[in-house]
Structure 1
């Protein structure tokens, strides 16, 4: 398992469009991909789970990837979040 903390840069946080982009990126990988925000853990492959985490701009999440392509998955998702998830 690999993990990394990343700060959400989108001005509106993880609302529907960036949540959808995050899920689309995560679904490319076989690994189990989750993130932790405060005490909650969300499945990065589920739009409803991502939206339910209520992540706002400037919040820090920790991404966790576990599986055969975990390292590639983590670097791809960190890069997507840092680039603003399409915003």
Structure 2
């Protein structure tokens, strides 16, 4: 299992549009993908789960990925967070 601590650096946080992009990206992988914030852990391929975390600008969360393509999944989702940040500029 791979874990990464990520920070939401775009102005609007992980609201509906970026959360949808996250889910679409995460769904391409066979690995199990979870997002942990505080005491809550949600399915990383679930729009409702992600939105329930209320990830606003500056929020820190842990990405948990386990499976055959976990390395690629983590790298791709990290890059998505960078791309979302760059869209705000």
The TM tier, using the shorter chain, reads over 0.9
What TM-score results when the alignment is normalised by the length of structure 2? 0.91
Question: Which secondary structure state, in structure 2, belongs to the residue aligned with residue 9 of structure 1?
Answer: coil
Q: What residue ranges of structure 2 are gaps of 5+ in the alignment? A: none
Aligned to 2:84, what secondary structure does the other structure show? coil
The residue aligned with 2:8 is 8
Q: TM-score, normalised by structure 1?
A: 0.93
Residues 1:83 and 2:83 aligned together = yes
Moved over 3 A (4+): none
The RMSD of aligned alpha carbons is 1.3
What SS does structure 2 have at the residue aligned with 1:29? coil
In the alignment, what sits opposite 1:21? 21
Residue pairs, 1:36-51, within 5 angstroms? 36-51=36-51
SS in structure 2 at match of 1:49 = helix
Per the TM alignment, residue 81 of structure 1 is displaced from its structure 2 partner at its CA by 1.1
Aligned mates of 2:34, 2:82 — CA distance in 1: 17
State the distance in 1 between where 2:79 and 2:43 align. 18
Distance in 1 between residues matched to 2:84 and 2:64, nearest whole Å: 19
